Structure 1
Amino acid sequence: MIAFVGSVFSPYYALARRRHAHVDPENHCAINLAIYSPGNKRWTMTERSAASISRNQTEFVIGPSSLHWNGDHLRVDFVERAIPFGQRVVGHFKLYPKQLFYFSTHLDDQHKHRWGPLAPSARIEVELESPNIKWQGNAYFDSNEGDEPIAIPFKDWDWSRAQLSGERTAVIYDVRQRNGIERVLGLIFTPDGRIEHFEPPPRQALPKTGWRIQRQMRNPKDAQLKILETLEDTPFYARSVLSSELLGERVTSFHETLDVPRLSSWAVQFMLPWRMPRVK
């Protein structure tokens, strides 16, 4: 689940920025939900205007859905419609951080784009009414923010996270900027609140997606790297589950690739409204 204020992928937000010097990001909010359960796969990302949202320090309401911080956990309630067939996606989840972090770092040379995990390791309780699914497990919670469109500084990036022994979480951000400078982050977040830096292993190419996006992963040269499942295969973005090796451990890595020029292309911008409808 991703909650957007100023949806970075929104074709409506991009069009508004081309027409006006100053655009209110709160006029382009959305909740993206992706369910990959076999037989119950659903995907929703309806954009809503400022007339349908409200937010304060503890709550963010987007149309019929909301996020609320309840002191020791985040509760998310959602009533959405899946694309393209309009199935209802209704339910809630509760996310209990094992440790909260107040860490943020820049992703670009101008320090206009920042990322940081709020709860790198958390427990989640999911209860869906539609589709009827309930489960509990491990979760991850982070935040990205920027002062300009991502198309200005970035060419593409690969991001991954993996659960290590001792309830540690490892994150690799492998960023290529349009100026040709690369920025690579390797960070471990421990359950006692410490942050450790490490040197990510060499970059290895993964098979291209069906849309011919080049995925790459940091993995030791002599270690097996395998795609277990491709969850999202779009013209500009891929989400995958990998079997890889990190710091001497065999891990399951959650992996994402973003191709920014593809996202900005006129063809993709023309297609996006079919996946991201907008209502007031």
Structure 2
Amino acid sequence: MSEDARHGLTLIAFVGSVFSPYYAWARRRGRADPQDHCALNVALYSPGAGRWCMTERGRRHAQRSANEFVIGPSRLHWDGECLHIDIDERGAPLPRRVQGRIRLWPQQLQRYSQPLEASGRHRWGPIAPSAHIEVDLRSPGLQWQGHAYLDSNEGDEPIEEAFERWDWSRARLADGSTVVHYDMQWPRQGTQPERLLSLRFDAQGAVEPIPTPPARDLPRTGWQLARRMRSDAAVQVQRQLEDTPFYQRALLSLPMGGRTVPWFHETLSVPRLVHPVVQGMLPFRMPRRS
């Protein structure tokens, strides 16, 4: 995720997309190959130029190596110092194009990886908690540079096998450090109703746990999705970026250390994601090229 005072951009490169209805249907048939369900999700939040793209590509349209990931006409490439992302995508159902180049320079690289549940089958960790980004888009015509964050999620089983929901939030503090709260819940398992990760990544690359603030309920979204934020003080929703039946993304603000700090916040409801009605709706936003 990158953001400055006016612009925001989220990119997610998927191998075996957890949101893919096609991947879910393939698993039910017993023929699920993650490489056959790749996608580059592009969400652009700029005044008058919002875009959202997520076309799934089959195996013949996706190639991977240690330094490169090609997904149809788009490409991610790591040259040892900079991550280059060439984007050529179209939205759905509105076929608005996103085309251009992004370059991301990590302030430091992390080898941190944290199991999210007891079995260790789902893992998360920042690759670059703090980075510099340059955005140069031809369509729509936008250029800016600013701060960015890069992380990784991976799993060895479908997401619905492990989670009920999660709330995830991140902020960059005045001293250059990054704070993350990962608030996970799986009440269906009964043995561990929730798991909390509260971590600070400093500008030199050190990682330390921090006290977890209490949970504060946020206003429900337009789709009546419940969400919460870990905070010692009152939280305000500054901008709703995404509002779907199963997922929301928002920019929040809360007072910390005598100043107002912006937070990037996400909520995922897995039961809503896997509901048959939602699965039937997803292809209208996520077309597939086999």
Partner of 1:186: 198
How far does residue 193 in structure 1 lie from its aligned partner after superposition?
1.3
Aligned residues: 277
Paired residue type of 1:211: W
Partner of 1:100: 109
Partner of 2:145: 136
- Secondary structure, in 3 states, of the residue corresponding to 1:193? coil
CA deviation map 1:75-114 (0-9, x unaligned): 0001110122212110010000001000000112221100
How far does residue 246 in structure 1 lie from its aligned partner after superposition?
4.9
Partner of 2:6: none
Paired residue type of 2:230: R
Cα separation, partners in 2 of 1:16 and 1:197, compared to 1, 3 Å: same
| Aligned-partner Cα distance in 1 for 2:215–2:258 | 16
| Aligned-partner Cα distance in 1 for 2:264–2:153 | 17
Does residue 279 in structure 1 map to residue 289 in structure 2?
A: yes
- Secondary structure, in 3 states, of the residue corresponding to 2:70? strand
Among residues 2, 7, 22, which one is paired with 2:17 in the alignment?
7
Does residue 268 in structure 1 map to residue 287 in structure 2?
A: no
Does residue 197 in structure 1 map to residue 202 in structure 2?
A: no
- Secondary structure, in 3 states, of the residue corresponding to 1:15? helix
How far does residue 248 in structure 1 lie from its aligned partner after superposition?
6.8
CA-based RMSD: 1.1
Paired residue type of 2:29: R
| Aligned-partner Cα distance in 1 for 2:116–2:257 | 23
| Aligned-partner Cα distance in 1 for 2:133–2:237 | 25
Partner of 1:125: 134
CA deviation map 1:147-200 (0-9, x unaligned): 001101100000000001211000000000132421100001111110010111
1:43-192 equivalence runs, <5 A: 43-177=52-186, 178-180=188-190, 181=192, 182-192=194-204
How far does residue 245 in structure 1 lie from its aligned partner after superposition?
3.9
Q: Which runs of 5+ in 2 are unaligned?
A: 1-10
- Secondary structure, in 3 states, of the residue corresponding to 2:48? coil
Among residues 210, 233, 242, which one is paired with 2:252 in the alignment?
242
Paired residue type of 2:283: P
Q: Give me the TM-score of the superposition, normalised by structure 1.
A: 0.97
| Aligned-partner Cα distance in 2 for 1:94–1:62 | 17
| Aligned-partner Cα distance in 1 for 2:218–2:15 | 32
Q: Is contact 1:48–1:278 with CA below 8 Å preserved after alignment?
A: yes
| Aligned-partner Cα distance in 1 for 2:286–2:160 | 19
| Aligned-partner Cα distance in 2 for 1:115–1:151 | 16
| Aligned-partner Cα distance in 2 for 1:274–1:169 | 36
Among residues 18, 28, 31, which one is paired with 2:37 in the alignment?
28
Cα separation, partners in 2 of 1:247 and 1:258, compared to 1, 3 Å: farther
Q: Please say which of residues 113-122 and 176-185 is displaced more in the overlay.
A: 176-185
How far does residue 202 in structure 1 lie from its aligned partner after superposition?
0.2
Identity among equivalent pairs (%)? 55
Q: Give me the TM-score of the superposition, normalised by structure 2.
A: 0.93
Partner of 2:49: 40
Q: Which runs of 5+ in 1 are unaligned?
A: none
